[in-house]
Amino acid sequence: MSNTGDFTRLNLPLEAHVFMQARFQSYELLEIFRKLLHLIDTFLHDPSWPGDNFDQNETVYRLVHCLEMVMSWNFLPNQIIEESSLRCCMGRENPLRPSDKWECVFGSAVLPSSLSLLLHLHARLRSSSALGSRTLACIVQLSNIQGPLVTRLPSVLALSPEEQYLLADHAATVMDCVSRWLPDHSSLPSAACTALLMRDTPTPSPSHSVYRQLLPQLPAFRVEELVQSACQSATAVSITSLHTYELPLLAELAVNLLRRLSETFALLERVISGSAWSNNETENAQTVLSRLLFYLSAGHNFFLFTFSVLTRCILVEARQDDDMASDTSPAHEASERLFAYLSDVLHFPRFDGEDELTVGSPGRHSLPLTTGPTAVRDQMIGVLKQACCQLKTLFLEQQTQVLKLYFAAHLASPVGFRRDDQTDCEELDLSIDEDDQCSFEDSLFAIGHFASASSLGSVIALLANLLEERTAQLLQLSQTSNGLGPPSSSSSAPNERSYTLMEDLHWILLICGHILVSGPSQLGSSKGGLPSWDSDFMMRSGIWSAGDKEYNDNDVAICKRFLFCALENSPLPTDVQPQIIQLPSILRLFSVLFRLFRLQVSSRVGSAQLTEDTFWLMSRLAITYLANSQVEDFSGTTEEHHWLPSLDGFL
């Protein structure tokens, strides 16, 4: 009845079908859903429900089936009916578009209760993948709700202030409830905890304690109100582990909320700027701060939830989670989507004085000493600025930790925790499926884009250290094989060390190629056609930045000597060594790459795969850094930096 073709099967005129559908979805269907929620609540009060073998229980099956039917209903839009608006969505996305009559179950006041029931239901049924995937899909649908309850328009910038808050209220409520469902965001298996890259991993602070630090700075008469609204706990069951089938659905849920989060940031930026305040916002300034601080608190929890799901995906792909099934394709699909969408979270609210607030310990900066009618509003804006800086700091810290985890998952012990125990026993399959190859390349591109979404200094320095260490191991291995080093106690040990070392170098070079250069993977490969060199490849934004330092002729001369020594694989002069620490990380990484390339030629060490990886990476670097390629543009990154001279200028 919810599709256009139903009226022909029912032998009804189109107008009659439209009238019946509009009447049914606003009354009968709503009443059915309310009875379903009441029935779910009744069942959940029984601790023993659903019992053993519930996947064979017809009552449970009917309940989930009816719930899925309502949540996937193709609601009739309220605007003037056209044939195009009645067509069933054939794509993967079929957003939930209930009318305003559904406010009694999906409105901002009752949404936490409805969502809590669905979360509790999924927690009871999640051990069955057939039922759990359907209940979780209903929650995903609720995160992508559209229509009169939130907004009809695609852009929040075109909405009135009241509609902006309506959309942000729904997004923040779902983020806050769902993120409390998976509170364990820092647990790692023993193999990952012992990896050197994951040592001393900081534990993020809960959002309640973070935002409570800001409350004493506000006038005393508003503190209680903010505590109740921004730090109120959601009633939802929590779990500590995930099933494999849940990962793609949770990734889809996170992507839906990430889209809403960018719209919420637009609202925050407008309020923080202090301009275009509506009369209602000016008159209810205290309520405005309460709601916006709740949005930031929900965003804090949501980032922890999203990075927690991404962490689980990486561990499953690395086969480090014993509770997971052997199939890693759902985790790969989920991690690729999350990496791609998290890299677009660049539009944090920006404002004057952001750098001063970010430096040092957040939350300790005094509020503006403005007097007069705007004093309260200015103090509110000061608190929001500090809260935004804390949220951005959390995102950057979690981003760095996820990148370290990704590197560790692809490197051998003791630096990482890659598992090579079954490699020698497996027969290599050289017939690579084209779809698998494209998926693998898309995943690497998403990693490079994700890493470039913030400051790349620490990432480049980490890659330089990892590559330098393995280049030294490669030289030592070649000396041992040529009889120039100490003999090994086991004949099989050199082969194992050689395989482990080559695999590490393979992954490091692939990651370097996608972080240093934005572009497809086919260049220099024996598979696929060559892309357009002049338009498809660009340097990452900010990667060739010198920061605040201006390079004079003496600095450029030191950089030249440093790189020339690397090209010749010769020791550094004594007058250059003390100044290495002042050089940008990108030059140090290029130095290590040049030494690795030179070592392969002069010492004839390596493998066929290492040679192919080397040519692939050098080709990407040649058409970007050595050819004065254009820099990838990221809208939203407005920092001004001094740029280093081009690489061909150094050489």
Task: Specify the residue for token string 């695609």.
Answer: 154
Q: Which two tokens stand for residue 150?
A: 């939130």
Q: Which two tokens stand for residue 216?
A: 């004493």
DSSP annotation string for 103-142: HHHHSTTTHHHHHHHHHHHHHHHTTSHHHHHHHHHHHHHH
The answer as to whether 133 is a domain residue is: yes
Examine the domain organization and report whether 122 and 270 are in the same domain.
Answer: no
The answer as to whether 620 is a domain residue is: yes
> pTM for this structure?
0.83
Domain ends where: 106, 122, 149? Answer: 149
* CA distance between the termini of the chain: 70
The answer as to whether 433 is a domain residue is: no
Backbone angles phi and psi of 560, in degrees to 5: -65, -45
The answer as to whether 435 is a domain residue is: no
Examine the domain organization and report whether 478 and 565 are in the same domain.
Answer: yes
Give the H or E element holding residue 509: helix 492-516
Task: Measure the CA–CA gap between 531 and 523, rounded to whole angstroms.
Answer: 7
Examine the domain organization and report whether 191 and 42 are in the same domain.
Answer: no
Amino acid at 415: V
Using a CB cutoff of 8 Å and minimum separation of 24, what contacts does 431-440 make?
A: 432/527, 437/527, 439/332, 439/336
The answer as to whether 451 is a domain residue is: no
Examine the domain organization and report whether 216 and 132 are in the same domain.
Answer: no
Examine the domain organization and report whether 58 and 175 are in the same domain.
Answer: no
Say if CB 454 and CB 344 are below 8 A apart.
no
Question: In terms of residue numbers, what domain contains 103?
Answer: 1-149
Domain ends where: 371, 398, 419? Answer: 419
Examine the domain organization and report whether 388 and 525 are in the same domain.
Answer: no
Task: Measure the CA–CA gap between 235 and 155, rounded to whole angstroms.
Answer: 31
Domain ends where: 96, 114, 149? Answer: 149
Examine the domain organization and report whether 222 and 287 are in the same domain.
Answer: yes
Task: Measure the CA–CA gap between 365 and 571, rounded to whole angstroms.
Answer: 48
Instruction: For the chain, give the longest Cα–Cα distance.
Output: 91
Task: Measure the CA–CA gap between 617 and 443, rounded to whole angstroms.
Answer: 17
Q: What residues of the chain score a pLDDT lower than 50?
A: 7, 79-92, 154-157, 220-236, 359-365, 422-432, 489-491, 524-529, 546, 634-639
The answer as to whether 449 is a domain residue is: no
Task: Specify the residue for token string 């990667």.
Answer: 543
The answer as to whether 444 is a domain residue is: no
Q: Which two tokens stand for residue 567?
A: 């090209």
Say if CB 238 and CB 183 are below 8 A apart.
yes
What residues have CB less than 8 Å from 43, skipping those under 6 apart?
49, 50, 63
What is the predicted pLDDT for the residue at 80?
Answer: 37
Per the structure, the count of domains in the chain is 3
Examine the domain organization and report whether 112 and 171 are in the same domain.
Answer: no
Examine the domain organization and report whether 166 and 120 are in the same domain.
Answer: no
By residue count, the chain amounts to: 651
Examine the domain organization and report whether 168 and 126 are in the same domain.
Answer: no
What are the strands, taking DSSP E only, across 145-299? none
Examine the domain organization and report whether 479 and 345 are in the same domain.
Answer: no
Examine the domain organization and report whether 164 and 144 are in the same domain.
Answer: no
The answer as to whether 566 is a domain residue is: yes
